[in-house]
Structure 1
Amino acid sequence: MVNPWTGEVALRIDGERHVLKLTLGALAELEAGLKAGSLVDLVERFEGGAFSSRDVLALIVAGLRGGGWSGTAEDLISAEIEGGPLGAARAAAELLARAFMLPDGT
């Protein structure tokens, strides 16, 4: 079971359940790896529906790494993500929202 109040999101990859979380270290790694802009720009892209598959992959990798995974984006190229690209995008958006959500739900 994931704890949404700590920013956790569950995602099945190759049939295995993973808990993703954007820790401060994962966020810093994500921001360093962004090809364009900052985390604020990334949030704005998701809010406006203008995110790219690269954005989704970067968020999934950062969340996995924040959850203790030691892989890389290349490890996910041929992975089967439950729900396909849409499922990955939903998980990435939820992960990003939970990372900046206050405990009262705002």
Structure 2
Amino acid sequence: MQATGVLAQSNSARINYLLNCQGCHSADGKGSAGGAPDMTLYGKEFLQSAPGRRFFIQVPGSSNSSLSNLELADVLNFIASELIQYNEAIQFTETEVEQYRGTKISNVVETRNQLILELVR
């Protein structure tokens, strides 16, 4: 039996996360020591702010991925709901991803740390 609708979208997003993101961020989004950061730490705060949402779209792994804008939006929604477990997050859309994806973040660590300082006051 073939999955349809939201279930198919969710399965596709999970598979795309596993294929494109888990290598650095691990299957649970917790990152790796000395490598990619834990997306679940401050994830809710990032998802609640426009700069944080743009950050998720503009980090190199997202902005440079071969995923389409719609596929990336689905992966980001998977991260929000399944890994960060923030089901109240506004859903990423293809249009939002398209709008911000072209702007690349040059210093990811510095940008992330600055966002954390601003979001967790």
TM-score (norm 1): 0.38
Structure with bigger RCO (C-alpha 8 Å, 6+ apart): 1
Pick the structure with greater CA Rg: 2
Normalized per residue, which structure has more helix? 2
TM-score (norm 2): 0.35
Normalized per residue, which structure has more strand? 1
